[in-house]
Amino acid sequence: MLGSSALAHELKASGQKLKLMVSLEMLAFTSATQRYPIPAMRTVYGDRGEFIAVVGNISATPLLSGIVSRMGKQVITKLLPVRAAGHAMPEVRLSDHSPFWDAGYNAAMVTDTSFLRNPHYHQMSDTIDTLDLPFLANVTEGLKQGLGGL
């Protein structure tokens, strides 16, 4: 995250305003099962890994709710708002959005939940034939609609 850290720091140091930083992180894997960093999340988000998660800081929730609603017309999309820049749940800090949270910006990670769903994550078996390309197409269209409303 060296690049995102440097950019977030540079923007903050220069007083640059930013409406929303969006990090796209692992978007094309679906599974009959889904793991969570906190087991109780299963009751809210379900057992199946067939959704896209939009993980954002609390202050971004009004923007993200609209994005999730618009994306949801193409793909099951679930919002996970997190407090305190996600420090209580380290798994949600593992992408380029977290330096923006740390700098006080609104930021979100859009993800298929990567290693919490995909057994091929960072393995030699992580090949295109393990991906759900129709799901990825729906995610792409959903992002177009979701972000287009900003």
Structural domain boundaries, residue 138: 19-148
How high is the mean pLDDT of the chain?
97
Whether 74 is covered by a domain: the verdict is yes
Count of the separate structural domains present in the chain: 1
- pLDDT of 87-141, one tens digit each? 999 999 999 999 999 999 999 999 999 999 999 999 999 999 999 999 999 999 9
Per-residue pLDDT band at 13 (split at 50, 70, 90)? very high
Whether 78 is covered by a domain: the verdict is yes
The three-state DSSP-derived secondary structure of 93-121 is HCCCCHHHHHCCCCEEEEECCHHHCCCCC
Q: What is the CATH number of the domain that holds 103?
A: 3.40.630.10
Whether 58 is covered by a domain: the verdict is yes
Whether 110 is covered by a domain: the verdict is yes
Whether 3 is covered by a domain: the verdict is no
Whether 48 is covered by a domain: the verdict is yes
Whether 5 is covered by a domain: the verdict is no
Whether 14 is covered by a domain: the verdict is no
Coil, helix or strand at residue 80:
strand
**Average of per-residue pLDDT across 74-95:** 97
